[in-house]
Structure 1
Amino acid sequence: MTTCSWATKTPRDLDYHDHEWGVPVFEDHKHFEMLTLESAQSGLSWSTILAKREGYLEAFHQFDIEKVAKMGEADVERLVQFTGIVRHRQKIASTINNASAIQTIQKEFGSFSHYIWSFVDYSPLAHERASLKDVPGKTDLSNTIAKDLKKRGFKFLGTTTVYAYLQAIGMVNDHVVSCPQHTKTARLQGEVKKHKP
């Protein structure tokens, strides 16, 4: 059995791969965290973002959506100087903006989790990828979700970033078939229907 090659660079990468990547997520603050981290990763390596994960938790109140939504320009200026995260002004501002956008969705759908899982009717997409070369950078699903998120005011979440997010939250299983986590993840995804309202 061979672990997905992208996860073998550092022990941190491997731990994330083995315990989080592809595991279904239903808590709104966790969705917010993964949206933020995947957005921050744009143009950088995932290893870089994982190394700064604690910094992001500190900077954005453990991804408390209500608290982040109340942050303002002074917080942006402060975080631009904070070395614990990627100091990209637009990405920092978009995180605050996206917290407010999530709140709007929560009011409409009851939770952000219900909104995002409704795109697949709580039925994760099970893939049989032979190698990383078979994993696309985007799909029709990520195109549809990215377009809807943009319409709802989200920023820095294009279709490629959205697809990476869908992989992270378990909406799709893109562990290669030779990876020990492929079967484990598939088993967890089989339980998703139980969370449907």
Structure 2
Amino acid sequence: MSYCKFCQDLPEDNVHRYYHDFQYGFPLETDNELFERLVLEINQAGLSWNTILVKKDNFFKAFDGFDIATVASYPEAERERLLSDKGIIRNKLKVNAAIHNANVILDLQKEHGSFKKWIELNHPLTKDEWVKLFKKRFKFVGGEIINEFLQSTGYLPTPHDPDCPIYEKVEKAKKDMGIY
């Protein structure tokens, strides 16, 4: 067995290796976790994933643990706080998208019980169908962002190489959660 090419030579304490081995492709349990991943994927646009992984803890603190209701209710002062926080990506469009998208998720929770249930009700779709669906409601969600969000959460086929030892773990986790 060999690891996926992009991480096979990375030490175990590398942020990419940790993400690959324990997070990438594995289904998430809660709406807050899904929201966190969506915000991180949005913030990665135009930047390296390494930048996001290194700043992940800062994002968690800055966005109040990615509590959807809290982020959805941020007043202008909170937007300004985020835009001055050197620990995260200070991009007005991305900050505004996070707040807008938190409100969208609250609406989805009211309509469907949870963000996760909304995704599951629409699963499976092709990447293009997912992008079209997300663009109807969410901001700052292009094809690559949605592709990475859905691959990283188990709703699109895993990008792990079939001979990577993590591949089978991801597939088992998806099966255990009812994602095929």
Kept in 2, the 8 Å contact 1:109–1:115? The answer is: yes
State the partner residue of 1:126. none
State the percentage of identical aligned residues. Answer: 37
State the partner residue of 1:24. 27
State the partner residue of 1:125. none
State the partner residue of 2:44. 41
Q: Provide the C-alpha distance between the structure 2 equivalents of 1:6 and 1:58, rounded to a whole number of angstroms.
A: 29
Q: Provide the C-alpha distance between the structure 1 equivalents of 2:127 and 2:110, rounded to a whole number of angstroms.
A: 23
Q: How does 1:98-177 map to 2 (within 5 A)?
A: 98-120=101-123, 141-152=126-137, 154-171=138-155, 172-177=157-162
RMSD: 1.7
Q: Displacement of 1:2 after TM fit?
A: 2.2
DSSP 3-state at the match of 2:6: helix
Is 1:63 aligned to residue 66 of structure 2? yes
Is 1:51 aligned to residue 35 of structure 2? no
Q: Displacement of 1:9 after TM fit?
A: 5.2
| TM score, norm. by length of structure 2 | 0.91
Q: Which range moved further: 64-73 or 10-19?
A: 10-19
In structure 2, runs of 5+ residues without a counterpart are none
- Candidates 166, 169, 176, aligned match of 1:184: 169
Q: Displacement of 1:89 after TM fit?
A: 0.9
State the partner residue of 1:133. none
State the partner residue of 2:96. 93
Query: Cα 1:141–1:72, aligned 2, differ >3 Å: closer, same or farther?
Result: farther
In structure 2, what residue type is equivalent to 1:6? F
Q: Displacement of 1:33 after TM fit?
A: 0.3
What is the aligned length? 175
Kept in 2, the 8 Å contact 1:24–1:188? The answer is: yes
Q: Displacement of 1:141 after TM fit?
A: 2.0
| TM score, norm. by length of structure 1 | 0.83
In structure 2, what residue type is equivalent to 1:192? M
In structure 2, what residue type is equivalent to 1:165? F
Q: Displacement of 1:42 after TM fit?
A: 0.6
DSSP 3-state at the match of 2:126: helix
In structure 1, runs of 5+ residues without a counterpart are 122-139
